[in-house]
Amino acid sequence: MQYVQTSSGVWEVVIGLEVHAQVISESKLFSSASTKFGVGPNENVSFVDAALPGVLPVANSFCIDQAIKTGLGLNGNINLVSRFDRKNYFYADLPQGYQISQYDHPIISGGYVEIETKDGLKKINLERIHLEQDAGKSMHDQHPTQSYIDLNRSGIALMEIVTKPDMRNAAEVSAFLHQLRSILRYLKTCDGNMDEGSMRADVNVSLHRPEDPFGTRVEIKNVNSIKFMMSAIDFEVNRQVEILESGGIIDQETRLFDAASGKTFVMRSKEDAQDYRYFPEPDLPPLVLQQSRVDAIRATIPELPMAKVRRFQQNFGLSHYDASTIASEAEIANFYEEALAVGSMNVDRDFAKLLANWLVVELFSLLNKEGLSICSGKVSAENFGKLVMLIKTNVISGKIAKEVLAMMWETGKLPADIVKEQGLKQITSTDTIESALREVLAENADKVAEYKSGKDKLFGFFVGQAMKKMQGKANPQVLNDVLKRLLLSE
Ligand code: ADP
Ligand code: MG
């Protein structure tokens, strides 16, 4: 959808995002009030958050560390001197009458997020990341004639991550948000939970002729899932194409997305920075950082998802799909590597691939069925690794392994113990397999005759019957070999 072709020519879609990411922190940006989610209204409100006269904000140094960490993880420049500013506007859920934000001296400048597109890797550049406080929440559905205000969110630290207008279609936006969310979760600076509102994004959309400068953008607010964002972009592109094609011009405005109708509606005409009368926050000193502080935080940045995907592909030979599924969450990647450690010191690629496959297919399906995360502890990484090792070393077949996994899930027992108790060890003895096969062939003389007259498909039938006789425990390779030999000599 990057280009929209009409009879008059081609329009190119241009998109930039402003993401608000709630900082993971026990207390708020400028007060010691708790940030706990799900408590009763106005339980987490300090005098600062309620803007009582005479109280002063104090910057929370942990929140600042979190912003620095985010900036480093997103390849940005950490500005050793930045500043807080007042963004002035009135709203009932904003008791101060202004939001403390950062305007022309943000804590982070630049940076980028690498995404995968159908044409390969693409860098989505960042304009800036700044710190600001969240507002409270107005509740209009509690009383027929009154609105209520909950200030629990008032003063919670947000990072506003502003991209350059570098995205060209909805798929890139989706890839960007997924990648950003994954990185923030790895860094543990934002939980990325869009349902609970801890990650929210405003999307800016414009169209232009590829040879012309960028067109006027429209900002869409209130899009609280990636799926809705896709629909909002689609709707907005079509709306703008219609206006431009009929000779109209796009008004720079702020629109709201309505999930029920899939449409966007005008909220207000776009305000300009000067409308907010930004000025330096007089109650806070400039934010001055020591390089040593930045360096110490840099040392804590973990290996990030893209680097993990590459390492998993290069060192372990995983498919791109398996590698990126496993690397999408730090907990899954850690589980995988812990399970992998069950094998030899030098990674055996076959084991690594088998393990990835069993994790992504079998264990994920059990976890999904019960809505559990990998950290649920139902099956430990070590035990899971041991199970896959039993398959790898031909102790059990894949089919039996599924049963063993189900029993591990229920009982928490070791896979080897289950195999022993239940007598599930794979049978590789040629003699035992041969005698089972001989029985099958004797019982099905008619089918043997059909097979000989060219009905090749019956080979599978004989295999199935013999497997059944042996409770699924026969080594499939041996079974196949012996069956071929027997049928030839029949
Ligand atoms: P403002 O200062 O008015 O908020 P910015 O230049 O900071 O404007 O841009 C805000 C957001 O709009 C950024 O995410 C940016 O990528 C995006 N943006 C800017 N110009 C365009 C455009 N022509 N089309 C789409 N998005 C744009
Ligand atoms: Mg801006």
Interval 58-79: pLDDT, tens:
999 999 999 999 999 999 999 9
Residue 13 CA to ligand 1 centre (angstroms): 13
Nearest to 433 by CA among 490, 394, 476: 476
Give residue 105's region: left, alpha or beta (phi > 0; psi -120 to 50). beta
Best substitution site from 217, 240, 255, 272 to test ligand 1's pocket, by max atoms within 8 Å of Cβ?
Answer: 217
165 Cβ inside 6 Å of ligand 1: yes
Which 3 state secondary structure label does DSSP give 119? coil
Q: Which ligand is nearest to the CA of 253?
A: 1
15 lines ligand 1 (CB under 6 A): yes
**Nearest ligand 1 atom, CA 215:** 23
The verdict on the CB of residue 162 being under 6 Å from ligand 1 is yes
Write out pLDDT tens, residues 243-265. Answer: 999 999 999 999 999 988 989 98
**pLDDT per residue as tens digits for the range 276-286:** 999 999 999 99
How is residue 266 written in tokens? 């005008």
In order of 62, 89, 159, 286, the CA distances from 57 in angstroms are 15, 18, 18, 13
Q: Using CA atoms, how far apart are residues 356 and 105, in angstroms rounded to an integer? A: 45
State the pLDDT at residue 490. Answer: 67
Q: Is 164 in the pocket of ligand 1 (CB under 6 A)?
A: yes
3-state secondary structure of 13: strand
Q: Which of 307, 397, 401, 385 is nearest to 352 (CA)?
A: 385
In the DSSP assignment, the letter for residue 36 is -
pLDDT class of 326 with cuts at 50, 70, 90: very high
Indicate whether 224 pLDDT > 90: no
Residue nearest to ligand 1 atom 19, measured at CA: 165
Domains of the chain: 3-297 (no CATH), 305-422 (no CATH), 430-489 (1.10.10.410)
**Nearest atom in ligand 1 to 162's CA:** 14
Tell me the mean pLDDT in the region 471-476.
Answer: 86
SS3 call for 120: strand
Query: Which H/E stretch holds residue 122?
Result: strand 120-133
C-alpha distance from residue 370 to each of 79, 101, 196 (Å): 46, 42, 21
Q: Is the CB of 214 under 6 A from ligand 1?
A: yes
Structure confidence by residue, pLDDT tens digits, 460-469: 999 999 999 8
- pLDDT at 202 > cutoff 80: yes
Q: Provide the sign of the torsion angle of the four alpha carbons 164, 165, 166, 170, taken in this order.
A: positive
Banded model confidence at residue 347, pLDDT cuts 50, 70, 90: confident
Q: Is the pLDDT of residue 172 over 80?
A: yes
Average pLDDT over residues 295-324: 96
Q: What is the pLDDT of residues 138-160, one digit of tens each?
A: 999 999 999 999 999 999 999 99
Give 201 Cα–ligand 1 centroid separation in angstroms: 13
Q: What is the pLDDT of residue 195?
A: 85
Cα-only R_g, the chain:
30
- Residue 461, classified by CB atoms within 10 Å of its CB into exposed (0-12), middle (13-18) or buried (19+), is middle
Q: What is the DSSP letter of 76?
A: P
Is the pLDDT assigned to residue 438 strictly greater than 80?
yes
Name the nearest CA neighbour of 354 among 381, 321, 326, 392: 392
Higher pLDDT, 3 or 172: 172
Q: What is the structure's pLDDT at 1? A: 64
In this model, does residue 16 exceed pLDDT 70? yes
Q: Average pLDDT of the chain?
A: 93
- Number of helices (H), then strands (E), belonging to the chain: the values are 16, 18
Task: List helix spans (H) across 222-370.
Answer: 226-245, 291-298, 305-316, 320-327, 330-340, 349-357, 364-369
The residue contributing the CA closest to ligand 1 atom 7 is: 162
3-state secondary structure of 39: coil
Which residue has tokens 């950490």?
78
